[in-house]
Amino acid sequence: MENLQKKYGFWTATAMVVGIVIGSGVFFKADDVLKASGGSLSTALLAWLIGGSIMVVTAYVFSKIATRIERVNGVVDYFEQAYGRKAGYLVAWFMTFIYYPTLVAVLAWVSANYTGALLGMDNIVWPVSFVYLTGFFLLNYFSPVLAGKWQVTSTVVKLIPLALVAAVGGIAGISSGMTLDNFTNAAQTVAGSGGGLAVATLSTAFAYEGWIIATVINAELKDAKTTLPRALVVGTIAVVCIYMLYYLGISGVLTNDQVLVAGNDAPVEVIALIFSKLSGTILTVFVIISCLGTLNGLIMGSARGMFSIASRDMGPKPDFFKRINPQTNSTTTSALIGYILSCLWLIVWYGNFMGWWGQFMDISELPIAFLYVIYISIYIWVMKTFTDLGAFSRFLCPLLAGCGSLYIIWGAIQKDMFMHFLILSLLILGIGFALMKNKR
């Protein structure tokens, strides 16, 4: 088996953290967080702050682990080191068959949604979802280096609409008194409580998710034990600051009720109201690029999923799935299975909107909550074994991160079809356990 080359540096790793996290969630979930908060801007902002704090503390804990372990697939390597090869294998199976492809499917759909809105053609959303999903898998299949450059470029581009909304909306809101009014008057269009702070925080979890995928390229990072920890901490702190300013920017132009009505189009309406319809159209293009940057980062992880299993000589046909294309240095057969799984989950997501399941199986949030169960196990391991760390890094941060994880999980339990998704996930893990092979 050939080795993956050290082809990425600090900026690519940081761009993966910022670029995967800042993508669709901040646009796609802004109204959901406000709705779950019962229309209260202060509660919504608190949810954003709690969700961001959980992410930063979690990333800090993982940065301490990343300085010690450098292998093929971040969180899988850490869990394997903590609990053995079979446990690591099952986490890799979860990431490969559930986590990566579900989020890839949702991101392809979100990107297509904004494309359909831009063109005024709602009927093209699902075909375009498939085209985006296929196109970025092909990019990662044939040119992983170019995919890495796109990650950096799209990260820079996607900050433009967020900066515009934050700056323009923030100044306008202070001048007009709209921001203060939104803090004092909750939206009137929310029926009931909306779910409460825990559900609102779970909605932010989708918007904050993705930084962990940066650890999947640690074997391809130059000086990974220094580069990855720096990228995790710097990237996650930057994201929280950007999100809070952006959300305040929206509240400076639209009332809470208008945000709920606008839904995913709120940032576009903000710019269009202040400048012109043309500016709103240009912003939509930036939003699409932003979403596609996140999609590319998720696919970078998904394309390496089966490779991370096969590189351990475990799972079905490891010799087949650990093949690396010598010309492109890409995990070709692993990328193929990632593509097929993402297509299958896209069909599941489509079924939600067609009413196939009776209720809404939210694969944009539930897989994330399941990942936090894995995180808690890793925190326990850190507290037990990292004896050289001080009390702050060894105990306080893992405990805080663990409490945050439990809070996210509590929000997930309250979602529709939680038990259905839990049973489905256990079945998929059961299949993985049955196919587990250990050649070593």
List domains and CATH numbers for the chain. Answer: 10-434 (1.20.1740.10)
pLDDT > 90 fraction of the chain, expressed in percent and rounded = 27
CA distance 364 to 283: 24
- Alpha-helical runs (H) found in 144-196: 144-176, 178-184
- Residues 143-166 have pLDDT tens digits of 777 877 777 777 778 788 788 888
Work out the end-to-end distance of the chain between its first and last CA atoms, rounded to an integer number of angstroms. Answer: 15
In the chain, what's the furthest Cα-to-Cα distance? 68
CA distance 376 to 370: 10
- Residues 92-121 have pLDDT tens digits of 999 999 999 999 999 999 999 989 988 989
- Residues 375-415 have pLDDT tens digits of 999 999 999 999 998 999 899 999 999 998 898 898 889 88
Whole-number Cα distances in Å, 154 to 25, 113, 119, 160, 370 = 15, 18, 21, 10, 29
- pTM value? 0.78
Determine the pLDDT at residue 1.
42
For the ranges 96-105, 261-270, 430-439, which has the lowest average pLDDT?
Answer: 261-270
CA distance 414 to 289: 33
pLDDT > 70 fraction of the chain, expressed in percent and rounded = 88
Determine the pLDDT at residue 7.
63
State the pLDDT confidence band at 73, using cuts at 50, 70 and 90: low
Determine the pLDDT at residue 381.
95
State the pLDDT confidence band at 217, using cuts at 50, 70 and 90: low
CA distance 424 to 418: 10
Which amino acid makes up residue 68? R
Determine the pLDDT at residue 23.
66
For the ranges 52-56, 203-207, 342-346, which has the lowest average pLDDT?
Answer: 203-207
Q: What is the mean pLDDT of the chain?
A: 84
State the pLDDT confidence band at 72, using cuts at 50, 70 and 90: low
State the average pLDDT over residues 246-264: 85
